[in-house]
Structure 1
Amino acid sequence: MSIPVPGARVPRRGGPISRAVGRVGLRLMGWRIEGEYPDLPRFVTIGAPHSSNYDFIIAMAAVLALDVRIRILGKHTLFKGPLGPIMRWCDVLPVDRRSPNGVVGDCVAAIRDNAQTVIGIAPEGTRNPAPDAGWKTGFWHIARQAGVPIIPVALDYASRTIRIGAPWWPSDDMAADFALLSAFYAGVQGAKRRLPDAIVPRQPGNAGPSGTAG
């Protein structure tokens, strides 16, 4: 199984042992990686569909195999007590919804304050969104305000492929940007559901369950 090697400017973590663990894990689960992260030091990466806890195992194996440091969002309260060291080892970025800057502002600051930073977000916001809920738009606002690209990643259970898309910078037209996402994700089969052909921004009146990344 061929694993792409990220460029020198992409944030890295781990070493030979963790890479081997990730690659063996992917091989045993029958998954492969298609595409690669470009040689960029800062970006937002989104992963979908997210319909099962099993998605995390696959994603973590891929992260270890690629040797990429991706910071995912987590409630700041998770860092209190014995979970703190585990959260830090997993590169969880603590966010506090009570922050004056909000979650988006805190993520933008984390990107701007670090020479190398990758923020990872599940844009559906929950494993079981309503069929017409749409995607939360936090990732789009974070990338646009921080001036970094978005790199989409699809977990396609039909072909057992983790597909990494090309980077694109969000424009002033959210609808047009979501049309690009629709073209990339159309029909991708998740563990428990298939993504719709048209992915739309989640509307305030149809927010659905709350998620950390919104």
Structure 2
Amino acid sequence: MKQAICSFIYHKILGWKAEVSVPDFDKCIICAAPHTTNWDLFIGKLFISAIGRESGFMMKKEWFFFPLGILFRWMGGIPVHRDKRTSMVDQVIKQVNASEKFHLAITPEGTRSPNPNWKKGFYYIALGANIPIVLIGIDYEKKCITAGKYIIPSGDIDKDMREIKLYFKDFKGKHPHKFVLGDID
């Protein structure tokens, strides 16, 4: 029922398309980009539900105020306390290892503003938990979300991050000027 409702909203009402060629892994980190607007969360959640999959997401704790906090937690949101010096990577790896199924979407830019220095926590979580990173591109120009590639982290972060960034080079966020790949040479 949830899938049918989300599919109807995503495809029929909003007019978005979905292109999916990656397996439905039991456990994975989803690297979703470009992230240039708060609408990415809602479009992304509709997409993932419309294709019959589930995913949690991380968001700064400041967004978890009443009543939004209730909604975000219900949607799979995990508040991130960015001011504390705790190892979020280690905590998530433990959660991955203790779970039968685990899907967590993370935006590598870590912000909706232009950021050439992408966060690498998603990479280290996948590497430490030995799970794939599914690359999902959001394209507002084409009104299509594409899950077209996954990588298994090799441990060579420079090589792998270059491959990840190159995957996203042709996707257009809602505000394209807010998305930068940074150094990929």
Q: State the structure with more CA Rg.
A: 1
Identical aligned pairs, as a percentage?
27
Q: Give the count of matched residue pairs.
A: 181
CA distance in 1, matches of 2:59, 2:173: 23
> Structure 2 residue aligned with 1:180, among 160, 163, 183?
163
Structure 2: 5+ residue runs without aligned partners? none
User: How big is each residue's C-alpha offset from its partner over 1:61-80, in whole Å with a ceiling of 9 and x where there is no partner?
Assistant: 11221232211124568778
Letter in 2 for 1:24: F
> Structure 1 residue aligned with 2:94, among 105, 109, 114?
109
TM-score, normalised by the number of residues in structure 1 = 0.74
Letter in 2 for 1:190: G
> Structure 1 residue aligned with 2:125, among 114, 138, 142?
142
CA distance in 1, matches of 2:130, 2:24: 16
Q: Which has the higher contact order (CA 8 A, sep 6+)?
A: 2
Indicate whether 1:63 and 2:48 are aligned: yes
Alignment-derived partner of residue 128 in structure 1: 113
SS at match of 1:106: helix
CA RMSD of aligned residues (A): 2.4
Structure 1: 5+ residue runs without aligned partners? 1-15, 202-214
Indicate whether 1:88 and 2:50 are aligned: no
CA distance in 2, matches of 1:80, 1:52: 19
CA distance in 2, matches of 1:58, 1:81: 22
> Structure 2 residue aligned with 1:38, among 19, 23, 27?
23
SS at match of 2:7: helix
CA distance in 1, matches of 2:147, 2:131: 17
